[in-house]
């Protein structure tokens, strides 16, 4: 991530993710609309202080062999944000956080506001992840409020959607995704401050992935729905990430599917070598 996005580290006042390449010739991974891919690592509830060594290792690998084709983000737990900011200072990597409270402050013991995350160095926050929807019973309305909170704090919202195994089995995938988008995406969402992540619940942490054709179908559908909700010009600039068992071995297959503009990576983002190997799919290098 260059220029503006790099400056966004620790400064929520900038637009964090210019998603379009702006007049450059489309590079590997950019689609016809020139959308610059984003690969974000979601560490979930993993990582103590010693995990920062992985950031150091990632930083070193990228310094030696950069991947200029994609924006790169790491979303550690909130406890590591400030230290991760220091560990990544001077690089083009950005930091994201995981979840936020809808309100800016108040009597909500244990919660963290979007403003606090921005203050700690985040440029984005993941909301509506299926683990939050399941573990905490989060509704679409709450996810939308959290995305609005992110925007209020000048963070990008990475809004997750995706069907369960049973819903896919019932042929309800598109209907579920449509409902989640309609309920979770704020009216004022724009490509510059919002990213959609399609994460089929049954693919998360299982090693299972949809076929490229299935991914293409859902991503195309999501872009169409965003067009219906926000206008097709805006929708054509949105980044739609795929998430669910993205690994070095399947990155090349999944990242170049039409309407896939990057990935939200869980388990494989915890190890610098695996995360880098996924990133390097954009450079056409096989770093496995």
Tell me the catalytic residues: 129, 199
What's the distance, CA 101 to chain centroid? 18
Dihedral, CA of residue 194, residue 200, residue 203 and residue 204, to nearest 10: 50
Under rule CB under 6 A, which residues in 26-55 are in contact with ligand 13P? 42
Please work out, in degrees rounded to the nearest 5, the angle formed at the alpha carbon of residue 135 by the alpha carbons of 129 and 138.
60
For residue 233, the minimal CB distance to ligand 13P (Å) is 28
> Residue written as tokens 């390097």?
280
Rg of the Cα trace of the chain? 17
Which x/- pattern, by CB under 6 A, does the window 168-207 give for ligand 13P?
-------------------------------x----xx--
Distance of closest approach, residue 197 Cβ to ligand 13P, in angstroms: 7
CA distance 129 to 262: 17
Element (H, E) at 156: strand 156-161
Q: Does 255 bind ligand 13P (CB under 6 A)?
A: no
DSSP code, position 79:
G
Residue 118's Cβ-side half-sphere holds a number of Cα atoms within 13 Å equal to 22
Min CB(72)–ligand 13P separation in Å: 15
Return the number of the residue (75 or 230) whose C-beta is nearest ligand 13P: 75
3 binding ligand 13P? (CB under 6 A): no
Question: Which CB, 10 or 47, lies closer to ligand 13P?
Answer: 47
Instruction: For the chain, count helices (H), then strands (E).
Output: 12, 8
Separation between Cα atoms, residue 74 and residue 62, nearest integer Å: 13
Residue 267 is a binding residue for ligand 13P (CB under 6 A): yes
246 lies in the site for ligand 13P, by CB under 6 A: yes
Instruction: Please say which residue, 245 or 280, places its beta carbon nearer to ligand 13P.
Output: 245
Phi, psi for residue 158 in degrees, rounded to 5: -100, 105
Q: Calculate the CA 224 to chain-centre distance.
A: 19
121 binds ligand 13P per the rule CB under 6 A: no
Question: For residues 100 and 230, which CB has a smaller minimum distance to ligand 13P in the complex?
Answer: 100
Residues in contact with ligand 13P, counted by CB under 6 A, come to a total of: 14
- 76 forms part of the interface with ligand 13P (CB under 6 A): no
Range in contact with ligand 13P (rule: CB under 6 A) among 26-34, 171-179, 184-192, 265-273: 265-273
Residue among 116, 265, 272, 279 that touches ligand 13P (CB under 6 A): 265
Catalog residues that contact ligand 13P under the rule CB under 6 A.
42, 129, 199, 204-205, 243-246, 264-268
């Amino acid at each position: 991530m260059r220029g503006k996005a790099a400056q966004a580290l620790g400064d929520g006042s900038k637009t964090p993710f210019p998603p379009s390449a702006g007049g450059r010739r489309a590079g590997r991974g950019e689609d016809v609309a020139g959308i610059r891919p984003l690969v974000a690592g979601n560490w979930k509830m993993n990582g103590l202080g010693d995990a920062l060594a992985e950031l150091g290792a990632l930083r070193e690998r990228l310094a030696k062999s950069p991947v200029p084709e994609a924006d790169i983000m790491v979303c550690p737990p909130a406890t590591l944000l400030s230290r991760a900011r220091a560990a990544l200072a001077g690089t083009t990597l950005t930091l994201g956080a995981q979840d936020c409270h809808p309100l800016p402050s108040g009597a909500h013991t244990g919660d963290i506001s979007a403003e606090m995350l921005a203050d700690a160095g985040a440029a984005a926050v993941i909301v509506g992840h299926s683990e939050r929807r399941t573990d905490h019973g989060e509704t679409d309305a709450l996810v939308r409020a959290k995305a609005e909170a992110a925007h209020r704090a000048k963070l990008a919202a990475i809004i997750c959607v995706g069907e369960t195994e049973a819903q896919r089995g019932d042929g309800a995938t598109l209907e579920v995704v449509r409902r989640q988008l309609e309920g979770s995406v704020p009216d004022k969402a724009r490509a510059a401050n919002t990213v959609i992540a399609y994460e089929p619940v049954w693919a998360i942490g299982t090693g299972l992935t949809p076929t490229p054709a299935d991914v293409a179908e859902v991503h195309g559908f999501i872009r169409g729905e965003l067009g219906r909700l926000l206008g097709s010009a805006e929708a054509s600039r949105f980044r739609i990430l795929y998430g669910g068992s993205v690994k070095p071995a399947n990155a090349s297959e999944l990242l170049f599917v039409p309407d896939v503009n990057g990935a939200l990576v869980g388990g494989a983002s915890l190890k610098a070598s695996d995360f880098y190997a996924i990133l390097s799919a954009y450079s056409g290098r096989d770093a496995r």
